[in-house]
Structure 1
Amino acid sequence: AVLLVFSALLPMLIIRNWRYNAIMTSYRGVRFNYLGSVKSGYWTFLAIPLLMAAVLVLLMTTVGSFSSLISNATPLIVAALLYIPALIALGGVMKYMIADLYVNNLRFGTAAFNAAISKAAFIKIAFFSLLFFIPFLIWTLWFSGAVLLSVMEYVQTGGHITHRVDYTSPYGGIFKLIAAYVSLIIGGLVAKCYIVVAERNYIFSNTTLSDNVQVHSNMKLGAYLMLLFTNTLITLFSLGLAAPVAQVRYARFMANATQVSGDLSLLNVQAHGDTARSAVA
């Protein structure tokens, strides 16, 4: 019940949080603003994901029923192979909708930001992130495939294993399982960081302010990964006491990766009178 209530409130909280962060940020005495509506937030963050999930479930159910009718697993395999690309493509579309909802409703005073972005670019980034993850997945299956097969057989047969794996030590299987988990976590982290870097660079390179000022981002994947790694070490070895140091390093990194080209003095910017009202969101 709590999860349902939170899910129902989440789009409103996100929109209000964007608005609060924008209005509480200023440059040269002029505050930013965010004019996106809560209605648009519900459409983007709740309605569209539910529709996408329903389409995917309907697709898999239909193909699964067709497969059972003809007693052939081929349609099910084909559906599984199509499911992952479809899921990735839908994820790219969702990222596009979120970026469009945020940037194209953002204001500097009364001057509007404009992001000329496309769905195809976000889908391409999502597929490239999969390519970053695949080598880690292949290595995991090669390194610990026999152990995973034994575990699956153990579960399916209720403890009777015919596929035996010989180890040089009794801890070999445990070590391989731990290594497999670590490999997948690292692969997921690299893929996720690629998405963050690629999407930020793409959005910034296609965003202008009043069509006169161009923003840029030159984030590098390797530098971003190293930042997260060192920040994690700083936080862990300080038992969390140095978390503010990690946050400052992150903020400085993002600022150094951001540039603006154009003459800001030529902008016809007027301050707005909106207030954040409350910080509840």
Structure 2
Amino acid sequence: MNNKVIFHGKGGEFFGIWIVNILLSVVTLGIYSAWAKVRTKKYFYGNTELAGDRFDYHATPTQILIGRIIAFVCVLIWAIANATFPLVASLLMLIFVGFTPILARNNARFDARMSSYRNVRFNFTGSVKGAYWAMMGAGLIGMIPLVFLAIITALVAAHSVVLVIICGILTVAAYLFLFAYVSAAMTRYFANGYQYGDRPFRAEISTEFFIKTILLGALMGAGLTIVMMAVAAIIAVVIAFLTMSSGEMGTVIDQFWFMVGGMSGMVYVILLMAFIAVFVQVRVRNYTFAQLVVSGDPEYGFTSTVRTRSFVWLMITNFLAQAFSLGLARAWVMVRTTRFLCEHTSVVGDLSLLTAKGEVMDEGAAIADEVASAFDIEMGLG
């Protein structure tokens, strides 16, 4: 039995909440932003339905505000240090980067613990050790081939152009492998860290899938680039032929088309990178949800049916709507995107048989979670 997630929110309805949130946040110099975040979360959670029941969000504005005040103080200290003692500021930045896995893990835990379905809270039980391995350890190990190739390239640079080209190709391949390896490690960490009451989530995440996905994205990008270069070459030949005997006017036309070509190339690169990123994101989301299981009796699975073409169209139209409305369409975009993702997400199983016991939460870690949430280092399952 597939239970599709349904979102009941409306763009016009949320627009009023969004505008009030912005105005009050500006008037109160950002203090109301904590209340704004809670109102927004409650709206989206409260309008998301699964098998006849809706989700809920339980964080209080005071919790969010405490975290944001501490985060603001940290940023202020860094700004003062950057203006007076740049070396100290650099050291503080390194310390912040070093704490990023803890912040990401605590942020996931905070959001999970503040969320509920059928009056049972979610939780995130991923360990700090696991966070460091997924976000830093895997990357450091994956960097070894890149460093090795960089050393070889430097040694052969003066002796063989062919070897340099080969090392360059191998470096790109090693980078793609590194990206796939780290992405798989992070997905594995978060997918196996969530919990609904006393029911843990689990997923068998294959690194091989991520390698294939990244390679497919790279090959797709290379293929599209070759096609674009061929089209550009044909256009250039045609323009050169048409302007060959045009004298001074031909030079002006050549300069015009050179400028247009440069701008078109930049736009193409941006669009291509965005398309590949969406392609990878969609494949990873669909794969991860297909692997995800909620343990217990009975077990429950998930499906995600997002298509790259549909998601690309959603992103393009969202961008255009915000650009032409000078940002006023942001509320509509948030509602539209949430509805799209919900329409393509289902829970597999008979939810009338779902039972779960609420877990006792460690309230002592609340402030750390709130501070992490304030930095908005949001990682997890899409």
Question: What band does the TM-score fall into relative to the shorter chain?
Answer: 0.7 to 0.9
Counterpart-to-counterpart distance in 1, 2:114 and 2:134: 24
1:61 to 151, 156, 179: 151
Give the aligned length.
261
Q: Give the C-alpha shift of residue 55 in structure 1.
A: 3.2
The answer to whether the Cα contact below 8 Å between 1:114 and 1:210 also exists between their aligned partners in 2 is: yes
Aligned letter for 1:42? Answer: Y
User: Superposition pairs for residues 248-267 of structure 1, below 5 Å?
Assistant: 248-267=335-354
Q: Give the C-alpha shift of residue 78 in structure 1.
A: 0.9
1:235 to 313, 319, 322: 322
The answer to whether the Cα contact below 8 Å between 2:102 and 2:131 also exists between their aligned partners in 1 is: yes
2:137 aligns to what?
A: 47
The answer to whether the Cα contact below 8 Å between 1:132 and 1:187 also exists between their aligned partners in 2 is: no
Counterpart-to-counterpart distance in 1, 2:336 and 2:175: 34
Unaligned runs of 5+ in 1: 146-165
User: Superposition pairs for residues 90-239 of structure 1, below 5 Å?
Assistant: 90-142=178-230, 168-210=253-295, 212-239=299-326
Aligned letter for 1:75? Answer: L
The answer to whether the Cα contact below 8 Å between 2:305 and 2:344 also exists between their aligned partners in 1 is: yes
1:160 aligns to what?
A: none
Aligned to 2:254, the other structure's residue is in SS state coil
The answer to whether the Cα contact below 8 Å between 1:210 and 1:267 also exists between their aligned partners in 2 is: no
| Structure (1 or 2) with the larger CA radius of gyration | 2
Aligned to 1:121, the other structure's residue is in SS state helix
TM-score w.r.t. length of structure 1: 0.85
Aligned letter for 1:250? Answer: T
Q: Give the C-alpha shift of residue 237 in structure 1.
A: 1.7
Aligned letter for 1:110? Answer: D
Counterpart-to-counterpart distance in 1, 2:263 and 2:156: 39
For the structure 1 residues 16 and 169, does the alpha-carbon distance in structure 2 shift closer, same or farther, using more than 3 Å as the test?
same
1:280 aligned onto 2:367: no
Aligned to 1:239, the other structure's residue is in SS state coil
Residues 100-150 of structure 1 show CA distances to partners (whole Å, capped at 9, x for unaligned) of 1001011011101111221101111111111221234224544668xxxxx
Residues 236-272 of structure 1 show CA distances to partners (whole Å, capped at 9, x for unaligned) of 1221122121111111111111001112343441101
Q: Give the C-alpha shift of residue 57 in structure 1.
A: 1.9
2:164 aligns to what?
A: 76
The answer to whether the Cα contact below 8 Å between 1:103 and 1:115 also exists between their aligned partners in 2 is: yes
TM-score w.r.t. length of structure 2: 0.64
2:380 aligns to what?
A: none
The answer to whether the Cα contact below 8 Å between 2:138 and 2:181 also exists between their aligned partners in 1 is: no
Does 1 or 2 have the higher relative contact order (CA < 8 Å, sep 6+)?
A: 2
**For structure 1, which segment, 253-262 or 204-213, has the greater mean C-alpha deviation from structure 2 after superposition?**
204-213
2:110 aligns to what?
A: 20
For the structure 1 residues 3 and 50, does the alpha-carbon distance in structure 2 shift closer, same or farther, using more than 3 Å as the test?
farther
Q: Give the C-alpha shift of residue 56 in structure 1.
A: 0.5
Quote the RMSD (CA, aligned, Å): 2.2
Unaligned runs of 5+ in 2: 1-89, 234-250, 373-382
2:332 aligns to what?
A: 245
1:148 aligns to what?
A: none
Q: Give the C-alpha shift of residue 8 in structure 1.
A: 1.5
For the structure 1 residues 135 and 183, does the alpha-carbon distance in structure 2 shift closer, same or farther, using more than 3 Å as the test?
farther
The answer to whether the Cα contact below 8 Å between 1:190 and 1:225 also exists between their aligned partners in 2 is: yes
Counterpart-to-counterpart distance in 2, 1:38 and 1:111: 21
Counterpart-to-counterpart distance in 2, 1:72 and 1:131: 27
